[in-house]
Amino acid sequence: MTRLEIGDVLENRYRIDRPIARGGMSTVYRCVDMRLGRAVAAKVMDERYSDDPVFIKRFSREARAMARLQHPNLVAIHDFSAEGEPIYLIMELIDGGTLRELLAEGGPFPVQAATSTLRNVLRGLEEVHSTGLIHRDIKPGNLLITQNGQVKITDFGIAKAAAAVPLTRTGMVVGTAQYVSPEQAQGEDVDARSDLYSTACLLYELLTGQRPFSGGSYEELMVAHLTRFPTPLSHVNPQVPRPVSRLVEQAIAKRPQDRSSADQLYRALLAALGVKREQYGDVEVVVAGGARMLHLPGGEGAI
């Protein structure tokens, strides 16, 4: 792993303040952009990627594509370097934690909080998918929550680049095996519907505190994704409305052609909750019972 010290400077511009998180593929540091005087995050890739020309090519292509995405539910990409060592992304710095941390601290989400979180995830995925990109690694650890409750998706495109490196391919898949779609588990080409399968697994966990599939090994998990169906949500958490439980069961379909798009799943979720929406340009008002919620792409608030 490429290790940087506090005070080191990337490209004579980004000064390292401290590490934020470490994983098998990368380390994320809090940095200061000395040119613009703002705090940013630097995702520095493991040094073993530096000598792989296929990874470098794919990383560069994905980074450029990601940098073109501008949406409140996506972590913004400001800069990147794929020449020499280290290889890194410069990203928007998020002042909160991950969804994984929130689950570990507080357990399952209340239905309203879980479905509100999912609606923001789906809005971000709509933007990603509209450009032809696929995330490939939707999981709680890749969803950041700001201090004001805004949901932001990160790491889109990184999984595709890393999959080109045979040394890391197995480790990468094992790390996300609980959310991987059946077609992805079999090494097939995937499209946006693979992200929707992972998103349904995510909602299941938010509502129950349990992952929909379990296994003592990677192989057992893959068999579960390919052949089994999870225990119905309403059986694990009776507080989940039956329409929402049915929606998740349908979304965790084995065949891609039986799944919805992000927009279709978003609309189905509102319908399952008995929610109506009114659109005013870019502003959406969600009406549930007697309550009206102002829904912007980055979050919700009562009105």
Task: Cite the active site residues.
Answer: 137
Query: What letter does residue 176 receive in the DSSP assignment?
Result: T
Contact 58, 168 (CB under 8 A): no
Contact 147, 96 (CB under 8 A): yes
Residues paired with residue 300 on neighbouring β-strands, in sequence order? 295
For 28, 89, 158, 263, the CA distances from 62, given in Å and listed in that order, are 18, 11, 7, 23
Which tokens go with 72? 């409140």
Q: Return the biggest CA–CA distance within the chain.
A: 59
Contact 63, 57 (CB under 8 A): no
Candidates 98, 110, 197, 95; CA nearest to 140 is 98
Beta-sheet pairing, 26-33 with 14-22: antiparallel
Q: How far apart (Å, rounded) are the C-alpha atoms in residues 71 and 243?
A: 30
Is the preceding peptide bond at 86 cis, omega within 30 degrees of 0?
Answer: yes
Neighbouring residues of 196: CB distance < 8 A, sequence distance ≥ 6: 125, 251, 259, 260, 261, 262, 265
